[in-house]
Amino acid sequence: MNKEKRTLLLAAPRGFCAGVDRAIQIVERALEKYGAPVYVRHEIVHNRFVVENLEKKGAVFVDELKDIPKDVPVIFSAHGVAKSVPTEAENRKMFYIDATCPLVSKVHREAERHERDNNEIILIGHRGHPEVIGTMGQLAEGQITLVETAEEARAFTPNQPGKGLAYLTQTTLSVDETREIVGILKERFPAIESPRKEDICYATTNRQAAVKILAERCEGLLVIGAPNSSNSMRLVEVAERSGCAEVAMVQRASDIPWERFKNIGTIGITAGASAPETLVEEVVDAFSRRYDVSVEEIVTNQEQVVFKMPKILEREGAA
């Protein structure tokens, strides 16, 4: 029996970014150096497959420091933490390693600089996201105002009109939506200070740009990622706004909504920045079992970013 033909277009870049790769390596190297268990405060990245694999190796994921014994290493997730978290760890005499993505740490330092410069700060981001909680927690409560939507940007009123005004952004936002919000703020407050270098990270920008190109060439698109992953959710939204008729998020191949895609001949596939390549391969294999598949990679950018490991985990002889 002849199989129906399907064309799979793979976005490139896709999947792990440098910050996620570094965070996972931090947990793995800590396990090598100190042995199991190593505790991690919150999910190291937003992907259950990654978390479960690390659990098998001896990582233990908890919500709060009070859930961790004092004599084991603790790692802070890639999303960053409020300043109160390392302070609490020090008060509890815990040994901790910070796996915060360096691009998130950059936003934290910007917040501190604006405070020193006596600027009132707006943070563009999603309420309740760990990265937003961590960034707002770099300063005293009330020092940063969160703006989530264009409507909130239009309604924003400075708390201290005599001060300068500056904005920061979460690193994993929709590029287009953020541009709209920034445009509103700049129109209302022409002197507002922008980040010295774009806060939305290179990986978020590149993956969204790749999805836009993919959406022009396919009728259906799968985003491999997690519903609590901001960058993955933004890829779904970008695909939908780009006019792709059928868009679905799947955490892995077992989630593929076959009925929705049964009449679609060309299907795009991408993966959020916290989704490993093995899950992409799993999805391609699932299609190959059902259909006569041809696979084409659509390369829109090359990524060569690598972040250094914390000094305490650098291997002997490493650069």
pLDDT, tens digit (0-9, with 9 covering 90-100), for 99-121:
999 999 999 999 999 999 999 99
Domain 5-16+202-299 and domain 103-188 have a common topology:
yes
pLDDT band at 123 (very low <50, low <70, confident <90, very high): very high
Q: Is the dihedral of CA 272, 277, 282, 283 positive or negative?
A: positive
* Mean of the per-residue pLDDT values of the chain: 96
Side chain identity at 201, as an amino acid letter? Answer: C
Side chain identity at 274, as an amino acid letter? Answer: S
In the predicted structure, residue 318 carries a pLDDT above the cut 70: no
**Rounded CA separation 298/312 (Å):** 39
CATH number of 18-101: 3.40.50.11270
Q: What's the CATH architecture for 103-188?
A: 3-Layer(aba) Sandwich (3.40)
**Rounded CA separation 82/85 (Å):** 6
In the predicted structure, residue 164 carries a pLDDT above the cut 50: yes
- 185 secondary structure, DSSP code: H
In 3D space, the residue among 211, 204, 203 whose CA is nearest the CA of residue 270 turns out to be 211
Looking at residue 8, its pLDDT comes to 98
Q: What does the angle CA 104 – CA 181 – CA 242 come to, to the nearest 5 degrees?
A: 90
Q: What share of the chain is helix, strand, coil (3-state, %, to 5)?
A: 40, 20, 40
Alpha-helical (H) ranges within the chain are: 18-34, 48-57, 84-91, 102-116, 130-136, 150-155, 175-188, 202-215, 230-241, 258-261, 277-290
Domain locations in the chain as residue ranges: 5-16+202-299, 18-101, 103-188
pLDDT, tens digit (0-9, with 9 covering 90-100), for 80-95:
999 999 999 999 999 9
Average pLDDT (227-233) is 95
In the predicted structure, residue 316 carries a pLDDT above the cut 70: no
Looking at residue 160, its pLDDT comes to 84
Output the CA–CA distances (angstroms, integers) from residue 61 to 38, 68, 251, 261, 289, in the order listed. 9, 9, 20, 36, 35
Looking at residue 187, its pLDDT comes to 98
User: Which member of 88, 131, 177, 297 is catalytic?
Assistant: 131
Tokens 């440098």, residue located: 18
Quick check: is 131 catalytic? Answer: yes
**Rounded CA separation 19/45 (Å):** 10
pLDDT, tens digit (0-9, with 9 covering 90-100), for 266-276:
999 999 999 99
Average pLDDT (306-312) is 96
In 3D space, the residue among 96, 101, 50 whose CA is nearest the CA of residue 276 turns out to be 50
Q: Answer whether 146's CB lies under 8 Å from 128's CB.
A: no
Domain 5-16+202-299 = CATH 1.10.1740.10: no
Average pLDDT (51-76) is 96
In the predicted structure, residue 66 carries a pLDDT above the cut 70: yes
Q: Is the dihedral of CA 278, 283, 289, 295 positive or negative?
A: negative
Average pLDDT (205-217) is 97
Q: Is the dihedral of CA 22, 28, 32, 35 positive or negative?
A: positive
Looking at residue 1, its pLDDT comes to 66
